Amino acid sequence: MTKLSDIGERGAIDILARIYDRGQPIGLGHDCGVVDWGDDYLVVTTDVVNRKTHIPTGATAPQIGWYATAVNLSDIAAAGARPLGFVAAFSMPADTEVEFLRGLATGMEACVREFGIAVLGGDTKEADILSIAGTAFGRVRKDRILLRTGARPGDAIVVTGDLGRAGHAAKMLEQSSGMRTEALNQLLRPYPRIADGMFFSESGAVTSCMDLSDGLGVSLSQMAGMTKLSYQIDEAALPRYQGLASLPPAVAKDLVLYYGGDYELLATVRPDAIPTVLARYSDSSVRDRRRLTVIGKVAASGGNVLVTKTGREPLLAKGWEHFRSSGIR
């Protein structure tokens, strides 16, 4: 009998999508689902964090609470929406210390306050292992929602921030280096790119978007699977996290392309609008005046490709996948 470990998370999602597809307004397979709300969409997303797959040894309760909230808000950002609220369901052993629960709540509260929303409620249940299911809500104009589809041949591919930060942190944790506290923060305190997503939405020039939770390679594979287009990435243009310089080049390359966990936004932009988008982004109030980098272009065919100094190689559909990947994510 076929098991989930045979088909992986994306195979499981395909099965569920065939059951649930009843002609929803934007279809299934995007970062958020939507409900008609007049001229807007109410966007909804949910994500689960558990002790086995997401929480490294030494992680503090506030870090876990922030992370469980941030990964959901990242999907709201990818839709270009303004966040409205958050709910969470806690499953945990009965012998969990009360101070740990307070720490989880403190971390969640810090994250939602950062984005001007509140934890609206939730649920608590007893379980053998810690698990937190979060659900975030947002709002966006129907004609400005950002989806994984919409790219056209000739569009530029852009990414916010830098890549490889979470992968570098994971390597530091593996090596049990003296940077453990810093590494845990890098891994468990991603900053949802809400301002960036709203900027993309309001620009009217961004044709598609998703967040980089599972890695650049697999994210582009998911987009290509929906659009049937080719996404061509210039390796030299990729904005690498500076800490990767301390790692062997082959390891650093793999982390940038395939590890994920950075929760940056990957988007496509109409080619005629790129100069304006880049200029307005640098002049905007986007947090910390972070960078927006053009890393490639969309083509009509040819598969997903990594353009290197010596030629071209396939950009693999490789990245994190539940039911198949092992270790902490």
pLDDT tens figures, 270-310: 999 999 999 999 887 555 557 999 999 999 999 999 999 99
> Number of structural domains, the chain?
3
Q: Are residues 66 and 198 in the same domain?
A: no
Q: Are residues 121 and 179 in the same domain?
A: no
Answer with the one of 108, 142, 176 that is the final residue of a domain: 142
* Angle, alpha carbons 129-132-135 (nearest 5°): 160
Answer with the one of 109, 142, 175 that is the final residue of a domain: 142
Question: What is the CATH classification number for the domain harbouring 220?
Answer: 3.90.650.10
Q: Are residues 296 and 154 in the same domain?
A: yes
* Residue 323 pLDDT level (bands cut at 50, 70, 90): very low
Q: Are residues 36 and 19 in the same domain?
A: no
Q: Are residues 13 and 43 in the same domain?
A: no
- Domain residue limits at 18: 1-29
Q: List, for residues 71-86, the tens digit of each pLDDT value.
A: 999 999 999 999 999 9
Question: Which single residue is written with the structure tokens 């594979």?
Answer: 221
Q: Are residues 13 and 137 in the same domain?
A: no
How far apart CA 240 and CA 68 sit, in angstroms, is 25
H helices within the chain, ranges in order? 4-20, 51-54, 61-78, 98-114, 165-174, 180-188, 194-203, 216-227, 249-258, 274-283
Q: Are residues 177 and 305 in the same domain?
A: yes
